[in-house]
Every structure is written in structure tokens, then in C-alpha cells.
């Protein structure tokens, strides 16, 4: 049976940072719906242009569009063992759709690390976040700076600030998270798969805490 890890947490909690580390350690692919939408936007596809209308305001892309995109992604051969989901699901309807898709594939949600960070720290993290143009590697001006300012440590590409990390948009993203995504905490708690993680610790400590909660079968790359 394939095992899926759902990283849950507010914007800026550290989902993308942890997903990249866990993907390397487990060999499972990272599936970030935000990254996929940004890739579509970069390539100016119809989906990218549609998603941008919501992303620029900090709103969620409609469930039907997002679920169809994830369904296609999960059907690829690299998801046979499972995957690390980062930024999906984000609404109860998406969580229910995920359960149906995984049941069809003979998979399950193995664990849901819920990375908790207080709101004022989220704002500080997002306002200093830097992303690499080539592959979306994540840095922070103060908390996780690149070795050379403005340049990605891993592939040498340029670092940029996401347009939706501007303070006005960040406030709306956090509001949307509280209203639409927070209900997933009780959804997964009731299923017995939620594990609370203190996201205010240093990056390595957060990884250790998540690692301790992972099912044994995903720990072997
Ligand atoms: P998310 O994917 O949940 O929106 P990110 O992984 O992009 O969050 O992290 C948001 C910002 O916070 C990034 O700039 C990242 O470098 C930084 N960050 C991530 N984890 C930590 C941590 N444990 N402590 C301090 N800063 C962190
Ligand atoms: P992220 O990179 O996870 O911060 O996502 C950036 C933006 O992409 C969000 O603010 C949404 O507009 C959109 N997005 C990403 N994932 C989803 C999702 N699961 N459902 C709806 N919209 C999403």
C-alpha cells in the first residue's frame, strides 16, 4: 500500500522547507500545489493564468480545478510508493476528494504532521522568504540565509520574493487559512493520523520531530 504524508500548517509554517528535506530522506516525491500553479504561471498556461487570479489576492484556487490537477499528478508512476503533500489538501472538500483518490489507488494518508507557528512569526517568515527561480529552493533573509546574497546555494539561480508574500496579501492568506484549512485539523485528528509539531524550533529540530512520527515503511529510501 502506498503511504502519503500530508504536511498541514499555516502559510509560512515551514511545509515546503520540510517537504524538500523529507523528500530527499525518504525518496518520496514532494507534491506542492503552490509550486505546480507557479510553474503553470511561468509557462503561461490557461491553468496558470486562472490560478494567478486567486493567488495574487491570497484566495484559494477553486476545489474542482485543484483536485483535477492533483489527480493527474498522483496518477504518475513516481507516486507508486506514496508522496509528500505540501499545501494540499487545504479545504474539507479537497481532503474528502483525496481520500477517494487514494482509496482508488490503494493508498492511504499515513500521518499528518501539523506544523504549528504563532501568527506574528508567520508574518516575519513570509516577509523575509526568498525563493529560487530554477527549482523553488527556499531561503530566509535572516533565519536561513543563502551563502551568497541573492543566489541559490543549490543551483546558482537568482532568488526572488514571491508577489503574494507582500504584507497585504499575507494577511488575507492567513485569514483564508484560519477559515478554510483549520477545519482539517479536527478532520485528521478524528481519523487518528494528526501529529502536532512545534514549528518554532530550528529547521533540523522540526525535521527530527516529524521523522519520529513517520510510519516505518516510508523511512527507507
Ligand atoms: P510554507 O511552505 O509552510 O509556506 P516555507 O517552508 O516556505 O513555509 O517557510 C517559510 C519561511 O520560513 C521561509 O523563508 C523559510 O526559510 C523559513 N523557515 C522555515 N522553517 C523555519 C524554521 N523552523 N525556523 C525559522 N524559519 C523557518
Ligand atoms: P503556497 O505555495 O502553498 O503558499 O500556495 C500559494 C497559493 O497557491 C495559495 O495562496 C493559493 O492561491 C494557491 N494554492 C496552493 N495550493 C492550493 C490548494 N490546495 N487549494 C487551493 N489553492 C491553492
Ligand in nearest proximity to the CA of 129: 1
Q: What is the mean pLDDT of residues 89-106?
A: 97
Establish whether residue 144 lines the binding site of ligand 1, counting it when its CB lies within 6 angstroms of any ligand atom: yes
- pTM here is 0.97
Question: pLDDT digit string (tens) for 2-15?
Answer: 999 999 999 999 99
Predicted confidence at residue 124, as pLDDT, reads 95
- Looking at every residue in the chain, the average pLDDT score rounds to 96
Give the CATH H-level superfamily of domain 2-117+181-219: P-loop containing nucleotide triphosphate hydrolases (3.40.50.300)
Coil, helix or strand at residue 2: strand
- Every domain of the chain and the residues it spans: 2-117+181-219
CA atoms within 13 A on the CB side of 56: 7
Predicted confidence at residue 1, as pLDDT, reads 86
Establish whether residue 60 lines the binding site of ligand 2, counting it when its CB lies within 6 angstroms of any ligand atom: yes
On whether the CB atoms of residues 94 and 180 are closer than 8 A, the answer is no
Coil, helix or strand at residue 91: coil
Sheet holding 194-198, edge to edge: 30-32, 82-86, 2-9, 107-116, 194-198
Q: Which residues are catalytic?
A: 15, 90, 129, 162, 173
Establish whether residue 90 lines the binding site of ligand 1, counting it when its CB lies within 6 angstroms of any ligand atom: no
Q: Which atom of ligand 1 is nearest to the CA of 11?
A: 4
Cell readout for 100 is 477517494
Amino acid at each position: 500500500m502506498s503511504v502519503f504524508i500530508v504536511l498541514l500548517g499555516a502559510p509560512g509554517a515551514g511545509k515546503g522547507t520540510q517537504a524538500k528535506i523529507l523528500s530527499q530522506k525518504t525518496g518520496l516525491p514532494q507534491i506542492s500545489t503552490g509550486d505546480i500553479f507557479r510553474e503553470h504561471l511561468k509557462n503561461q498556461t490557461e491553468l496558470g493564468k486562472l490560478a494567478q487570479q486567486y493567488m495574487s489576492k491570497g484566495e484559494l484556487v477553486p476545489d474542482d480545478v485543484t483536485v483535477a490537477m492533483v489527480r493527474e499528478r498522483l496518477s504518475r508512476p513516481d507516486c507508486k510508493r506514496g508522496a509528500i503533500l505540501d499545501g494540499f489538501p487545504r479545504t474539507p472538500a479537497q481532503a474528502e476528494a483525496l481520500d477517494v483518490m487514494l482509496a482508488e489507488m490503494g493508498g492511504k494518508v499515513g500521518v499528518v504532521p501539523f506544523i504549528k507557528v504563532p501568527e506574528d512569526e508567520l508574518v516575519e517568515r513570509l516577509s523575509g522568504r526568498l525563493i529560487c527561480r530554477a527549482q523553488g529552493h527556499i531561503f530566509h533573509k535572516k533565519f536561513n540565509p543563502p551563502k551568497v546574497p541573492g543566489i541559490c546555494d543549490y543551483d546558482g539561480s537568482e532568488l526572488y520574493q514571491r508577489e503574494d508574500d507582500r504584507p497585504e496579501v499575507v494577511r488575507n492568506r492567513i485569514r483564508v487559512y484560519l477559515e478554510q484549512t483549520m477545519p482539517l485539523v479536527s478532520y485528521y485528528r478524528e481519523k487518528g493520523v494528526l501529529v502536532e509539531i512545534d514549528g518554532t524550533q530550528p529547521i533540523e529540530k522540526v525535521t527530527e520531530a516529524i521523522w519520529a512520527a513517520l510510519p516505518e515503511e516510508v523511512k527507507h529510501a
